[in-house]
Amino acid sequence: MSSKKLLVVAGPTASGKSDLGIVLAKALGGEIVSADSMQIYRGMDIGTAKATREQQSAVPHHMIDVADPMEDYSVSRYVEDAAACCEDIFSRGRIPILVGGTGLYIDSLLSGRSFGPRSEDDVLRATLNEKYDALGGDMLLSELRQIDPDRAALLHPSDKKRIVRALEVYKLTGETITAHDEATRSLPPRYTSLFLIPGFHDRALLYQRIDARVDIMVRQGLFDEVQSLLLTGVSSEATSMQAIGYKEVVAALQGSISREDAVAAIKQASRRYAKRQITWFRRRTDACRIWYDEPHPSLSPADTALLSAKKFLENP
């Protein structure tokens, strides 16, 4: 178990994670490290419910606005960058508080897992992509099968990104991506963590909050934000523009659907995403659950979270 302790405030969208994280950071001398796969992108503020300037002034925030929306930001890059942020926070005697709902980012950072090297060889990657396009997925998957049959068995010929990545790792390191993953799974956790997961017993209350937040985003100028991104050259096909709230608005701006239908689609997609997040974080049986609709609570949700956090941090 790692001697470095941090807090994780995770859970579904619109569950109050950001506000709870700020309360904890102020009380405990912490700094927030965002664990949101879309808040990393510059210029995507409204649709990602990014912390306001006032909130970022009150408490230091990290891993926000670290990538251009035209970039394809990976989980391996997130782990590398977020771990550097956490180490810096620890070095100054403060406490990292991961706040967000991207479970894969959180789990990958905490696990101690390393990834295959991030290639700086643009020529190699371009060559492999061109080879895939010219010869087809079946041919490249057959090539991978000769090198790494275990990984090849998990992939479909149409999975271009993962086939290319597996070949790239082997050509760069001489080690298969399967061997690399097996080695890293045995590593101890990078950090010792306490999960604080806010939520509602009554799912309908969460869905009401989601719908209300979408309405607020629209009033704040979500459609203008997306239009501005497109005008600056961000492709509607970019990874960033596939985010909930962005792809629906793009469809409306392109005339495929009405504004009203786009807003309704955002609400529906957000509710479905919240359901998936609830399922993901349900696996954390050791988490401290913070219920905002707990009947007759002895402590407020914030005080419950703060008490649990203090006990965790003070215990050796």
- The tens digit of pLDDT for each residue in 45-99 reads 999 999 999 999 999 999 999 999 999 888 888 999 999 999 999 999 999 999 9
Closest residue by Cα to residue 290 from 201, 209, 210, 203: 201
Q: At what angle do helices 103-111 and 259-281 cross, to 10 degrees?
A: 30
Answer whether 19's CB lies under 8 Å from 99's CB.
no
The answer on pLDDT for 123 being more than 80 is no
Q: What integer is the mean pLDDT of 256-266? A: 98
The answer on pLDDT for 234 being more than 70 is yes
Other Cβ atoms closer than 10 A to 61: 24
The answer on pLDDT for 120 being more than 80 is no
Confidence category of residue 39, pLDDT binned at 50, 70, 90: very high
The CB-side HSE value for 145 (13 A sphere, CA atoms) comes to 11
Q: What is the mean pLDDT of the chain?
A: 92
Q: What's the CATH class of domain 122-185?
A: mainly alpha
Locus of tokens 């962005």: 246
Name 83's Cβ contacts closer than 8 Å, sequence gap at least 6.
Answer: 109, 190
Beta bridge partners of 97: 7, 32
195-198-200 Cα angle (round to 5): 140
Rounded Cα distance, 20 and 197, in Å: 10
Instruction: Return the CATH number of 5-113+188-314, one of 3.20.20.370, 3.40.50.2000, 3.40.50.300, 1.10.3720.10.
Output: 3.40.50.300
CA 272 to chain centre: 16
| Sheet with strand 288-291: strands edge to edge | 61-62, 30-34, 95-100, 5-10, 192-199, 288-291
- The tens digit of pLDDT for each residue in 200-225 reads 999 999 999 999 999 999 999 999 99
Specify the domain boundaries for CATH 3.40.50.300 within the chain. Answer: 5-113+188-314
Rounded Cα distance, 75 and 175, in Å: 20
Rounded Cα distance, 257 and 200, in Å: 33
Query: pLDDT > 90: what percent of the chain?
Result: 77
Answer whether 98's CB lies under 8 Å from 6's CB.
yes
Secondary structure element (H or E) that encloses residue 194, with its range: strand 192-199
- The tens digit of pLDDT for each residue in 296-306 reads 889 999 999 99
Specify the domain boundaries for CATH 1.10.20.140 within the chain. Answer: 122-185
The answer on pLDDT for 119 being more than 60 is no
Locus of tokens 């495929």: 256
At residue 314, the pLDDT reads: 93
Q: In the chain, helix, strand, coil percent, each to 5?
A: 55, 10, 35
| The two structure tokens encoding residue 241 | 């523009």
Rounded Cα distance, 244 and 249, in Å: 9
